[in-house]
Amino acid sequence: MSKIIGIKAIPLSFRLPEGKTVTLGIGSTIKRDTIIVRVETESGVVGYGESHPGRSPGAVASLIDNTLAPLVMGMDAFDTNGVWARIHKMQLASHGMGAGASLAMSGIDMALWDIRGKLCKQPLYKLLGGAAKPIKAYAGGIALGYQAPESLADEAQSYVDRGYRAVKLRLGDSVRKDADRLIAVRKALGDDIDILTDVNASYSLEEVRQLVPVLEEVRVGWLEEPFACDNFGAYRVAGEFTRRVPIAAGENHYTRFEFGRLLEDGVVQVFQPDLSKTGGVTEAMRIAAMVSAWGYKVHPHSSATSINHAACLHMLAAVDNAGYFEACVSHHNPFRDMFGTAFSIDESGHVQPSEGHGLGVDIDEGIFEQFAFIDGPGYVVKF
């Protein structure tokens, strides 16, 4: 009754209105992309997951439809470990396509957990061994980008007014401009709000070194992805002069194997797996357990739609080392609430997982017609 009989990737796009871009370290946004993964069982139960599009949504969708789906068709939807292991053996451990395959398999795995919850008539967090509880959230997503310090401070304050007790600023413009923005936001928000920062892998070692005194002065909660995800050497060197500033990474690290290296290197203290990138719910739970053994919390990076937001909340409600939930506050992300409100922030800055079965997200596939797919990267980069 739970045999997998269909897997389909549904890539969707939304082109941003003229003048509504957000500029950050990886470029300026021109459109939003997402890939919904639909998995059907022989009993007619359908589960939905989300695969991150990377910079090539068409390629990731093709991987799902033409390479991964044939690998796992006919398997038991409850056998999430078996499905994961088969994809790992055939597409990550051999024959390349590592990062792309990890993005693709994440949506399949997430959909399988959605099916499990629907068949068991339970919310996902209960199946993962968790309980309903408040989870602290920060204002994130593609927001709080490069702008005048006063404007950025006003935007940050608007999220605090909505209940958030933490905000994440985009760095990587220039050391001087980043410093001015940090100081302005701290002055506007006062001492009781957590300020987190994200460089989007666009700094050099020297730029990080120059900014550290300001990061310490402002008391940032973490410095996220100062370098490329594979530049392990730079992370190790930075660890020597950023001891009072926690280093965060993980949204661009795939599977527990790469997180294992981060742990062994001993520099990263804030771990941020993205459930739509790193291998789905199955692998995110493994990663959470790994970092828990070292005394660290897990702060999942969230992506476009309410599907991934829901998965993050269920995971955080189920682990013993839950950190922040990244609440997307992007002004132009129609995917966030396309299936209903993705999350609700309370006056103390907390959110709760859904009580619906599985992920608890009701999917209306008719909405997909509003978001015709546009292939190609979602960011414009000036070299």
| Residue 124 to residues 129, 151, 325, 326, Cα–Cα distance (Å) | 9, 40, 16, 19
Q: Specify whether 50 is located in the same domain as 195.
A: no
Q: Specify whether 70 is located in the same domain as 97.
A: yes
Q: What is the pLDDT of residue 1?
A: 75
* Chain-centre distance for alpha carbon 343: 15
Q: What is the pLDDT of residue 224?
A: 98
Q: Specify whether 371 is located in the same domain as 356.
A: no
Q: Specify whether 80 is located in the same domain as 155.
A: no
Q: Which residue carries 């979602």 as its tokens?
A: 378
Q: Specify whether 188 is located in the same domain as 105.
A: no
pLDDT at 25 over 90: no
Instruction: Give the number of domains in the chain.
Output: 2
| CATH number of 38's domain | 3.30.390.10
CA dihedral (169, 346, 341, 286) in degrees, to 10, reads 70
| CATH number of 145's domain | 3.20.20.120
Domain that holds residue 312: 125-363
End-to-end CA distance of the chain: 53
- What is the spatial distance between Cα 287 and Cα 383, in angstroms, rounded to a whole number? 35
Chain segment 161-189, per-residue pLDDT in tens:
999 999 999 999 999 999 999 999 999 99
Average pLDDT in the 45-60 region?
Answer: 96
Q: Specify whether 247 is located in the same domain as 141.
A: yes
pLDDT at 383 over 60: no
How sure is the predictor about 262, in pLDDT bands with cuts at 50, 70 and 90? very high
Q: Specify whether 338 is located in the same domain as 371.
A: no
Q: Specify whether 197 is located in the same domain as 243.
A: yes
Q: Specify whether 151 is located in the same domain as 97.
A: no
Q: Specify whether 357 is located in the same domain as 372.
A: no
pLDDT above 90 as % of the chain: 87
DSSP letter, residue 68:
I
Chain segment 201-217, per-residue pLDDT in tens:
999 999 999 999 999 99
Q: Specify whether 99 is located in the same domain as 130.
A: no
Average pLDDT in the 354-364 region?
Answer: 97
One-letter amino acid of 358: G
Chain segment 119-177, per-residue pLDDT in tens:
999 999 999 999 999 999 999 988 888 999 999 999 999 999 999 999 999 999 999 99
- What is the spatial distance between Cα 195 and Cα 197, in angstroms, rounded to a whole number? 7
| 188, 167 Cβ separation under 8 angstroms | no
Q: Specify whether 274 is located in the same domain as 235.
A: yes
Q: What is the pLDDT of residue 382?
A: 61
